[in-house]
Amino acid sequence: MAVVEAPGVKAGALADAATGFDLDGAWRLDPQVALRPEPFGALAYHFGTRRLSFLKSRVLVDVVVALADRSSARQACREAGVGERELERYGRALATLAESGMIAPRVPA
């Protein structure tokens, strides 16, 4: 079970350099993942791996949901209200979700 946090502000390098996560790439929620809204954010359950993750921020949930319709993760973050100083933390959260298979690169149709 993974706990994915994003709130808070941390100055420093952008998420790309700090995490290796491609913020400028196109991403999406894995088709086998269901999100269940919760007061703290959401539960993400992967039906293929049976993995459960806690998204402990409503803004992070907004980012994850928006990934499918945005040209990049960076754009999804910005439109959800993530500031430049917060981008590193959200990049780390997205990297954790990618590593656990909750989100995946979006392949052009």
CA angle at 79 for the pair 1 and 59, rounded to the nearest 5°:
30
| CATH code for the domain in which residue 56 is found | 3.90.930.70
Mean pLDDT rounded to a whole number for the chain:
87
State how many domains the chain has.
1
Task: State how far the Cα of 67 lies from the Cα of 28, in Å rounded to an integer.
Answer: 5
Q: What is the pLDDT of residue 33?
A: 98
Q: Give residue-wise pLDDT tens across range 32-78.
A: 999 999 999 999 999 999 999 999 999 999 999 999 999 999 999 99
Under the banding of pLDDT at 50, 70 and 90, the label for residue 2 is low
Its pTM stands at 0.82
pLDDT at 18: 55
What is the span of the domain harbouring residue 64?
2-105
